[in-house]
Amino acid sequence: MIPRQRLDAIYAYLANEEDARVCRDISDQACREVPRNFFLIIAANTLSKLGDTLSNPKTVLSWLLEYLQAPLYLIGLLVPIRESGSLIPQLAIASYIRRLAVRKWAWVGGSLVQALSIAAIGVVAMLAEGAAAGWLIIGLLVIFSFGRGLCSVAFKDVQGKTIPKTRRGLLGGYSASIAGYIGLAVGLGFLLFDQDAGAAFYGGLLLLVALTWLLAAALFSGVVEDSGETGGGGNALAEALQRLGLLASDRGFRRFVITRALLLCSALTAPYYIVLAQQESHAGDLSLLGLFIIANGLASSLSAPFWGRLSDRSSKTVMIAAALLTGALGIVTFVIATGVPLLHESRWTYPLLFLLLGIAHSGVRLGRKTYIVDLAGGNRRTDYVAVSNTVIGVMLLLMGGLGALASATSAAGVILLFSLLGLAGALVGRGLPEVE
């Protein structure tokens, strides 16, 4: 246990704590606990993000299902199930969580759900294969996503009560950076390992990953949180459904939602790049999985500053550019997979394309987040976010189903289909009004 004075000194150094008014948006009692809470939340959040990296449906879980010879249509459901499975319940349960005076326990509970779900997926990996393994993993991923949604809602509230407003970005930055570096180190370790791995290895890996959420839950339980208001407000999902009329009455917002839905292709195509690469390698080639983990980690860190600066000038342009890149990559990938054997068989081709896809996806995320914030303010912004999240949660499932149907052709065919949707998104996005 680090002495409190030492902890305070380290926090003051990292946070450059000079402004005596930094705690003006939290209580005096919470202010005294900021250093302790800051490091506990960083540690818990880092472990949670590391767990996400090492069980990412775009990389690790897609790789696992292909290794277990699950049907291609199930691999295509991984990303939409995980994202919509946390987004839609998040809207429904937010008001219930906010009835709790101390909300850290909702985060702890959500973390435990994620730990148990990933551990169960690890057991499935060791004991089952084929369609049975695929369906079991999909079912467990639904449960995992519910826990993820719990954590997402609770984290915002706990952070708002325990960390000053001017230090929340710093906390998130440290968490993401540390988890990112550890994730890259793991990917590099896989790359250097360069040996085939079996079901026992992948199952054991996921059991170890489950420990990250268990440790995170233990750390987060130590956060000192004051009791807060318990008037949770209305049900966010019900309110969002009531405001769906905005899609009919607000032309600019309607076009944004359509554009955002079409740009889901940048996330939904990712697993199929894994499948193409794995089909041309040994099923347990751990070094190739390492390349994809490294590519996924580098994509955001390399491109986020560029996309961020460009978003401040025109978030519309960022969305269009990212959509065009996604579409172009999909077409190039289809051509390589179906007509350029030399590149198709190279172990470097698909990880490189995956890196570029990750850069495009980072642009999509930054662009659409910036755009909706700048599109409106106050309550109207809240309405926009609630409605768009509800629609996108449903569209994720529908487009995931579309990808599953298209998988009757080939992984390359699904990538081509989604790339055309990305190009359509760029075309629709051209009609968006500038908001910066």
In tens, the pLDDT along 379-392 reads 577 677 778 888 88
pLDDT score at 328: 96
pLDDT of residue 253: 87
Shared-domain flag, residues 189 and 290: no
Q: What is the mean pLDDT of residues 205-233?
A: 84
Q: Does 341 fall in a domain?
A: yes
Specify if 231 maps to a domain. Answer: no
pLDDT above 90: residue 248: no
Average pLDDT of the residues of the chain:
83
Overall average pLDDT of the 237-251 stretch = 75
Q: What is the DSSP string of 18-45?
A: --TTTTTTS-HHHHHTHHHHHHHHHHHH
Q: Pick the most confident of 99-103, 247-251, 342-346, 417-421.
A: 417-421
Instruction: Verify that 417 and 268 share a domain, yes or no.
Output: yes
**Residue 427 included in any domain:** yes
Same domain, 199 and 261: no
Between residues 15 and 88, which one has the greater pLDDT?
Answer: 88
Is there a single domain that holds both residue 247 and residue 183?
no
Last residue of a domain, one of 223, 252, 281: 223
Over the stretch 159-198, which tens digit does the pLDDT of each residue have? Answer: 777 777 666 666 666 777 777 788 888 888 888 876 777 8
**In this structure, how many other beta carbons lie within 10 angstroms of the beta carbon of residue 14?**
16
pLDDT at 26 over 80: no
Domains contained in the chain, number? 2
Residues 301 and 205 both lie in one domain: no
Residues 307-335 have a mean pLDDT of 90
pLDDT at 351: 94
pLDDT at 25 over 70: no
Residue 237 counted as domain residue: no
Residue 324 has pLDDT above 70, yes or no: yes
Evaluate whether residue 235 is within a structural domain.
Answer: no
Q: How confident is the model at residue 38 (pLDDT cuts 50, 70, 90)?
A: confident
Q: Do residues 82 and 146 both lie within one domain?
A: yes
Q: Is it the case that residue 416 has pLDDT exceeding 90?
A: yes
Highest mean pLDDT among 47-51, 101-105, 180-184, 232-236: 47-51
Q: Report pLDDT for 409.
A: 80
SS (H, E, C) 97-166: HCCCCCCHHHHHHHHHHHHHHHHHHHHHHHHCCHHHHHHHHHHHHHHHHHHHHHHHHHHHHHHHHHCCHH
Per the structure, the complete domain to which residue 110 belongs is given by: 4-8+25-223
Residue 17 within any structural domain of the chain? no
| Same domain for 159 and 68 | yes
The pLDDT of residue 139:
95
Same domain, residue pair 385 and 293: yes
CA 1 – CA 7 distance, rounded (Å):
10
Domain with residue 307: its CATH number is 1.20.1250.20
**273-291 average pLDDT score:** 83
> Per-residue pLDDT for 20 more than 60?
no
- The answer on 417 and 376 residing in a single domain is yes
Choose the final residue of a domain: 192, 223, 254: 223
C-alpha dihedral (199, 200, 201, 203), degrees to nearest 10: 80
Residue range 352-370, pLDDT digits in tens? 999 999 999 988 988 888 8
Contacts of 220 (CB under 8 A, 6+ apart): 40, 41, 44, 104, 107, 108, 111
State residue 156's pLDDT score: 74
User: What local confidence, expressed as pLDDT, does residue 368 receive?
Assistant: 87
pTM of the model: 0.84
Lowest mean pLDDT among 112-116, 250-254, 333-337: 250-254
Give the range among 185-199, 235-249, 327-341 with minimum mean pLDDT.
235-249
Query: For position 174, what pLDDT does the model report?
Result: 72
Residue 234 lies in a domain: no
Say if residues 436 and 309 touch (Cβ distance below 8 Å): no
Of the candidates 250, 282, 265, 270, the residue with the CA atom closest to the CA atom of residue 381: 250
Examine the fold and report which residue of 223, 251, 285 is the final residue of a domain before the chain moves on. Answer: 223
Could you give the CA distance from residue 48 to residue 103 in angstroms, rounded to a whole number?
A: 17
Would the pLDDT of 199 be above 80?
yes
Which of 87, 61, 86, 89 has its CA nearest to residue 75?
61
Q: Write a three-state SS string for 334-379.
A: HHHHHHCHHHHCCCCHHHHHHHHHHHHHHHHHHHHHHHHHHHCCHH
Among 402, 392, 401, which residue's Cα sits nearest to residue 87?
392
Residues 192 and 278 in one domain: no
Say if residue 211 is in the same domain as residue 254: no
- What's the pLDDT at 428? 93
Q: Can you tell me the distance from the alpha carbon of 397 to that of 76, in angstroms, rounded to the nearest whole number?
A: 10
Mean pLDDT, residues 131-147 taken together:
94
Look at residue 236 and tell me if it is in a domain. no
| Beta-carbon contacts of residue 323 (< 8 Å; ≥ 6 apart) | 259, 262, 263, 266, 360, 364, 422, 423, 425, 426, 429
Q: Is the pLDDT of residue 233 over 60?
A: no
Cβ-based neighbours of 427, under 8 Å, separated by 6 or more: none
Examine the domain organization and report whether 278 and 396 are in the same domain.
Answer: yes
Q: What percentage of the chain reaches a pLDDT higher than 90?
A: 39
